[in-house]
Amino acid sequence: MKNNSLLESILNYQLWLTLALTKIRVRFIRTALGPIWEILGTSIFLVFISFIWSKLWGDTFFDFFCYLYSGFIIWKAISSIIGDGTYLFSDTYSNYFENISINPFIFCMSHTAKNFIVLLMNFPILIIILIINDSFYLISVLWMLIYFILFLITGVSTSFILATFCLKFRDLQFSIIVLLQLIFFMTPVIWKIDQLSGNAQRFIIEPNLLYHYIELFRTIALSGEINMKSLIIVSITTLLLTITSLIIYKKFNKKLIFWIA
Amino acid sequence: MIKIEVKNLVLKYPIKNLNNYLFRAKVINKIKKIFYKDKDIETDKKEKNIKEIKALNNINFTINSNDRLGLIGFNGSGKSTLLRCLSNILPIEQGSISIEGADYLPIIQPYAMCEPDDSLYNNIFLIAQLFGFKKNKIKKQINEILEFAELTEYKDRSLSTLSTGMKFKFVFSISFVLEGKKIFFIDEFFTTGDEKFQNKGFDFIKKKNDQIIVMCSHSRKIIEKFCNKILILDKGEQIYFGDALEGLDRYKHQIKN
**Chain B residues in contact with A22 (beta carbon < 8 A):** 115, 118, 122, 126
How many CA atoms lie within 13 Å of B7's alpha carbon, on the beta-carbon side? 6
Strand partners, B9: B59
Residues 6 or more apart in contact with residue B134 via CB below 8 angstroms: A14
| Out of A26, A96, A257, closest to residue B130 by CB | A96
Mutate to test the interface with B, among A101, A106, A109, A253 (most CBs of B within 10 A): A101
Mean pLDDT of chain B: 86
Among B103, B105, B118, select the one facing A29 at the smallest CB separation: B118
Over chain A (261 residues), the average pLDDT of each successive run of 10 is 74 94 93 91 93 88 92 96 96 91 95 97 92 86 95 97 94 94 92 80 85 95 92 97 96 91 74
SS3 (DSSP) at B230? strand
- B197/B209 same-domain check: yes
B143 touches chain A (CB under 8 A): no
Is some CB atom of chain A closer than 8 A to the CB atom of B115?
yes
| Cα–Cα distance measured from residue A152 to residue A156, given in angstroms and rounded to the nearest whole number | 6
Question: What is the ipTM score, two decimals?
Answer: 0.86
Antiparallel, parallel or unpaired: β B3-14 and B68-73: unpaired
- Contact present, A89 and A159 (Cβ < 8 Å): no
Q: Which domain holds residue B216?
A: 3-11+53-256
Higher per-residue pLDDT: A206 or B82:
B82
B22-78 pLDDT, tens digit each = 777 778 777 877 777 655 555 555 555 557 788 999 999 999 998 999 999 988 899
Among B85, B113, B161, most A C-beta atoms within 10 A, so best to mutate, is B113
Interface membership of B122 toward A (CB under 8 Å):
yes
Say yes or no: B165 and B233 in one domain.
yes
B177 and B219 in a single domain? The answer is: yes
Per-residue pLDDT at B37: 63
Cα–Cα distance measured from residue A79 to residue A68, given in angstroms and rounded to the nearest whole number: 16
Whether residues B86 and B167 share a domain: the answer is yes
Residue A164 CA to residue A245 CA, distance in Å, equals 9
Of A2, A26, A254, the CB nearest to B132: A2
B44 shares a domain with B103: no
**B32 and B96: one domain?**
no
Helices and strands, counts by H and E, chain A: 13, 0
- When divided into structural domains, chain B yields a total of 2
How many whole angstroms separate alpha carbon A83 and alpha carbon A77? 10
Please indicate, yes or no, whether residues B153 and B205 belong to a single structural domain of this protein.
yes
Whether the per-residue pLDDT at B143 is higher than 60: the answer is yes
- The pLDDT of residue B1 is 84
> Residues 175 to 214 of A: which have CB under 8 A from any B CB?
none
Region of B191 (left: φ > 0; alpha: ψ -120 to 50; beta: rest) is: alpha
Q: So what's the pLDDT on residue A109?
A: 97
User: What does each C-alpha distance from A122 to A37, A139, A178, A221, B75 come to in angstroms?
Assistant: 11, 20, 26, 13, 52
Q: Which residues pair with B96 in a beta bridge?
A: B7
**Separation in Å, CA A10 to CA A3, A4, A88, A96:** 9, 10, 18, 17
pLDDT of B9 strictly over 70: yes
CATH number at residue B186: 3.40.50.300
Give CA–CA dist A176/A234, Å, rounded: 20
- In tens, the pLDDT along B195-247 reads 888 888 888 888 878 899 999 988 888 888 889 999 999 999 999 999 988 98
Note whether B144 and B72 are same-domain residues: yes
Query: With the C-alpha atoms ordered B87, B91, B94, B98, is the resulting torsion angle positive or negative?
Result: positive
What is the identity of the amino acid at A67?
Y
B135 and B171 both lie in a single domain: yes
CA–CA gap between residue A10 and residue A230 (Å, rounded): 27
Interchain CB distance below 8 Å, A14 and B87: no
Q: What is the pTM of this model?
A: 0.90
Residues B131 and B166 in one domain: yes
Locate all alpha helices (DSSP H) within A86-205, ordered by sequence. 94-99, 104-121, 123-132, 139-168, 170-186, 198-200
For residues B33 and B151, which has the higher predicted lDDT (pLDDT)?
A: B151
Q: Are residues B39 and B90 in the same domain?
A: no
Mark whether B150 and B37 lie in a shared domain: no
Strand, helix or coil for residue A15: helix
